[in-house]
Amino acid sequence: MAMLLLWLLVLPVLAQSSSVEDTVISLQGTGLPLDEDGKEVHAHGGQLLQEGSTFYWVGTSQKVLPAWTSTHINIYSSTDLQNWQFRNVIFRWQQIVGFPRRLPYGHLWQPPPPYRIERPKILHHVRRRRYILMFHLDTPGFEVPAVGVAISPNITGPYRWLHHFFPDNNTSYDMTVWQEPGTGQAYLVRSCPVMTIAVSRLRPDWLATAGSICSRTGLGAEGPAVFRHSGRHYIFASHLTGWAPNPPILHESTAGGMCSTFWRLLPAPAHGPLAGTTYDSQSTHIFTYTFQDGAEVLVWMGDRWNEQGRGSVGGASYVWLPLLPRVGAPGFELVYAENWSLRQYKGAVWDVAAQAVRFAADVEDSPRFATEPGRGVDGVAVS
């Protein structure tokens, strides 16, 4: 009887895992998905989080003229990455007060509203039992780039405005956050005006940076997205061309961690006719899906800003693609795929020599693909 009860408890989890792993992911920038009420999903510049069997997609509302700004931040939930339920407007720009009291370097200025809110990201501080919302806060003309902070006891909000800050007494444009599993450490990663992507450790309460930049890439970029694979950290980003798409950039942490490291620039992480525009999109987040056996699939999330299309930036949509480890060269490959699934790309790699995806069956049948991260075919180091 005990075994039967245990099986009845486990069965729904197994069924959910099987469902989401076989879900067809068809976000290739051809239109906006609809939520369960038949309304367009607006979660731009966003992030995907998972709690138990539920996925949460957070992002900004549709951008509107005259300066392509968003009025609020939305959150949606799903158990299969296909059917999305609108949960809440978790934050509105009208909640922002006291911005800014003082600019870096001592300058005083109080810009009038409205305010720009972009690239929202959520951290879960388990010990303090709260969720922390951070976002790029600015004027419509990008004149006072800062980080806005709001908090909530629930992931679905609403979030209470707390404050803004200038990381390490510097301005901050495109940003993301990284929460190191099992360590209690969290980091802010952002585009700086000194032509670099900068990494800063957050304070123990995760409400601001600790006071100094702990590492930097040394290359001007925007649209940062952080992921970890085989013990190493990576920053995926784009060049500086505003709303227009451009080739992707990938950096690897040579020391393994986020701080006290040199970030090595890897070969361009995409090839082919559309690689020069990152498939007409820009990175916002990389979600790691973990199977029950520990295998992982990296889901690259991007925005197609649609600057030259009908409706321009107001018609922005989403691009979700598999990001595969390479064999034959260091790094990863962003692969264009239509109607793909997590299970389909489980164990898949990018074969540099063949310029093709090798799926799990191909990899298992050939010792040629037995490599370590950052190493070439048959374990030969690639520089």
Q: How confident is the model at residue 317 (pLDDT cuts 50, 70, 90)?
A: very high
Give the pLDDT confidence score for residue 373 in this predicted structure. Answer: 44
Residue 69 has pLDDT above 70, yes or no: yes
Give the pLDDT confidence score for residue 5 in this predicted structure. Answer: 40
Which residue in the block uniquely carries the two structure tokens 């501080």? 125
Give the pLDDT confidence score for residue 104 in this predicted structure. Answer: 72
Q: What is the pTM of this model?
A: 0.91
- Residue 317 φ/ψ, nearest 5 degrees: -135, -165
- Please say whether the beta carbons of 118 and 60 come within 8 A: yes
Residue 74 has pLDDT above 50, yes or no: yes
Strands in 174-279 per DSSP E: 175-179, 186-192, 196-202, 209-216, 222-229, 232-238, 248-253, 263-265
Average of pLDDT values for 76-93? 98
Give the pLDDT confidence score for residue 214 in this predicted structure. Answer: 93
Give the pLDDT confidence score for residue 108 in this predicted structure. Answer: 60
Residue 199 burial class via C-beta count within 10 angstroms: exposed 0-12, middle 13-18, buried 19 and up: buried
For residue 193, whether the previous peptide bond is cis, meaning omega lies within 30 degrees of 0, is no
pLDDT in tens, 111-168: 889 999 999 999 999 999 999 999 999 999 998 999 999 999 999 999 999 999 999 9
- Helix and strand element counts for the chain (H, E): 2, 22
Instruction: Return the number of other C-beta atoms located less than 10 Å from residue 13's C-beta.
Output: 12
Q: Which two tokens stand for residue 18?
A: 């099987």
State how far the Cα of 203 lies from the Cα of 122, in Å rounded to an integer.
16
Q: How confident is the model at residue 1 (pLDDT cuts 50, 70, 90)?
A: very low
DSSP 16: H
State how far the Cα of 258 lies from the Cα of 213, in Å rounded to an integer.
11
| Least confident piece of the model among 12-21, 78-87, 145-154, 319-328 | 12-21
Residue 161 β-bridge partners: 150
Residue of 351, 321, 349, 348 lying closest to 337 (CA atoms): 321
The whole-chain average pLDDT of the chain stands at 90
| Least confident piece of the model among 96-105, 170-179, 232-241 | 96-105
DSSP 315: G
Strands 196-202 and 186-192: antiparallel
| Least confident piece of the model among 91-95, 106-110, 235-239, 279-283 | 106-110
Give the pLDDT confidence score for residue 302 in this predicted structure. Answer: 98
Give how far Cα 15 sits from Cα of 3, 82, 289, 297, 362, Å. 18, 16, 16, 19, 27
State how far the Cα of 325 lies from the Cα of 351, in Å rounded to an integer.
9
Residue 2 has pLDDT above 50, yes or no: no
- Please say whether the beta carbons of 232 and 182 come within 8 A: no
Residue 226 has pLDDT above 90, yes or no: yes
pLDDT in tens, 187-223: 999 999 877 999 999 999 999 999 989 999 988 999 9
Residue 382 has pLDDT above 80, yes or no: no
pLDDT in tens, 345-359: 999 999 999 999 999
Q: Which domains does the chain have, with CATH numbers?
A: 33-216 (2.115.10.20)
